[in-house]
Chain A
Amino acid sequence: MNNELDELKALWQKAKSSTETQPVKQDIAALIAQGEAKKKSTLAAHVINAAILSGTVAFLVFYFYYLYNFQDLLSNMGINLMIGGLTIRIVIEIFSAIRSRRINISDKATQSLQNSISFHEFRKRIHGPVTMIIFGLYFVGFYMLTPEFSRHISMAWLIAMDVSALMVAAVLIVFIRKGIRQELRDLEKLIELQRSLTKES
């Protein structure tokens, strides 16, 4: 078997010598710039998500509590469901950002893969059942406002509002399902790699 290895190494040395490469110093500045940009963009993705959700909550609070003072108990329950669901999602987003930092690219491969698997399992849960529940609460809350809205706007507007909310929900479901499928594919691939790496031959 050692002879076979020597043959393979000899073959590799030949192949390598035909494509010998030298690094160029000018690349270094570009790589450092990309490294810095990557750090910022990773953080920015979480910050932007949290900012969009926080902005939505701020708008809802302003609109429902100050601008349009709902009176009915049902409406107030609806508002709390909408705002509460989004607030939980913001907390999850912050937690997700913290968890993503646990993946250390300079760990040994088994550790790095394990941390990535844990992170993707967490994301599968939050992109799957948790997001669906929050999403469901938001739309149930929204429809709970309908009775009180009906006293202030025409039936035509009310129908238009409810139908358009339904359409938005349908589009969001498609995106959420797409995200879940991607997370599942990533997770399966990581588990397969981990299995290949750790299985005792």
Chain B
Amino acid sequence: MNQDHRLVYEKIYTQYFSMVLNLCRGFMKGDRDQAYDLTQDVFINVWNALPRYRADASYKTWIYRIAVNTCLLQIRKEKNKVRVPLEAAIHTTESEGPSNSTENEKILYKAIGRLDEVERLMMMMVLEEVEYEEIARIMGITENNLRVKIHRIKAKLKTWIEDEQRIG
């Protein structure tokens, strides 16, 4: 692997780390440790896919595709996987950990966690303000189909969040 790839990778990692972590955190229902593990898997896949990047999509779309596929294909979790500890897990600038996360955060993750895997990923991209056209391209479905799905997801989330807030 040449030095150019390494430089591009560094740039990608710095620029898109938070974006991927947010997607993974939603997918993992707010679990920070699992989200870091998954983010790590995504960036390992990004490194291995980098030589095949053909600039037919922006880096952002390309990385979202890898992130979405990594999340969906996480069906066979390797047991006892030895991991190099991510420094980011230690040096994050998180102002609050999971134990004292905000009430809003808990409610939101709980509601998102009730969605199925595909819905969760779509919703996380919507919340991250990714254009519908781009989400449709990432998922490989029509924009119309996506709009209908998002409409239903929003309705479900609204009901669940209101229920949670009422109980809370």
Contact = CB atoms under 8 A, between A and B. Distances in A.
Interface of A: 1, 4-5, 7-9, 11-12, 14-16, 18-28, 30-36, 38-39, 104-113, 116, 182, 186, 189-190, 193, 196-198, 200-201
Nearest to A32: B47
Going nearest first, the 3 A-B pairs with the smallest beta carbon separation are A110-B140, A108-B140, A23-B17
A128 to B, nearest CB: 18
B66 interface: yes
Interface in B127-168: 127, 129, 137-141, 145, 148-149, 151-152, 154-155, 157-158, 161
B96 interface: yes
Given A15-B105, A24-B91, A34 B68 contact: no
Question: Secondary structure at chain A's binding surface: helix, strand, loop or mixed?
Answer: helix
B95 interface: yes
A38 B145 CA distance: 36
| Most interface-central of B17, B65, B117 (chain A CB within 10 A) | B65
A145 B96 CA distance: 70
Contact of B10 (A9, A12, A25): A25
B88 A27 contact: yes
Contacts of B10: 25, 28
B71 to A, nearest CB: 9
Contact of A32 (B9, B66, B118, B152): B9
A19 B101 contact: yes
Contact of B95 (A18, A104, A197, A201): A18
B47 A193 contact: no
Contacts of A26: 87
Contacts of B139: 108-110, 197
B21 A21 contact: yes
A193 B13 contact: no
A8 B157 contact: yes
Contacts of A22: 17-18, 88, 91-93
Contact of B68 (A9, A14, A109, A116): A109
